[in-house]
Amino acid sequence: MLGNLLIAIICFGVDRFSKRLVLARCAWGVSYPITSFCNVELAANYGVAFSWFSKAGTAVIAISLMVATAVVAWLLSEWLKDGRECRLSCGYRVASAVLLGGILGNGVDRWCYGMVIDFIALHWDNRWYFPIFNIADVWITVGAFVLLLVSGLDGSER
């Protein structure tokens, strides 16, 4: 379990560091080109993924914090359940720790600021723009994808 927590703490720390760095060096709404397809653009996300439900106000904050708390509790209970940590696959343990780090990163934003700080803006040929996101979103997406992949490979082992 300590290895899982260490991975989650590292993911959480990378997310927090990246957000603090961007907050200290960038202005809100200004686009800073990094490559031909990626900009840093500080944006406030009051909704959930891709700013969906951004007009819902405090309901989104409350519901997302409750869901995040439930997922964190479930992950921790899985790690501790019946001392079976050693039987959980490596992929499951790493993916759930990465997911936890991302959930905590965005959860801290919601708790402290009432929004999530996003700053990675991907685009192609100045025509196609992907919604702005952050490092925690990457951790959540990768962790959830690997959990689904590992669960689909062997239903008997998590």
Please state, in angstroms and as integers, the Cα–Cα distance from residue 14 to each residue in 91, 100, 125, following that order. 20, 13, 29
**Does residue 118 carry a catalytic annotation?**
yes
Q: Which amino acid is at 129?
A: Y
CA distance 117 to 8: 19
CA distance 120 to 129: 11
DSSP string, 92-120: HHHHHHHHHHHHHHHHHHHHHHSSEEEEE
Instruction: List the catalytic residue out of 15, 82, 109, 118.
Output: 118
Instruction: List the catalytic residue out of 82, 125, 137, 154.
Output: 137
**Does residue 154 carry a catalytic annotation?**
no
Point out the residues that are catalytic.
Answer: 118, 137
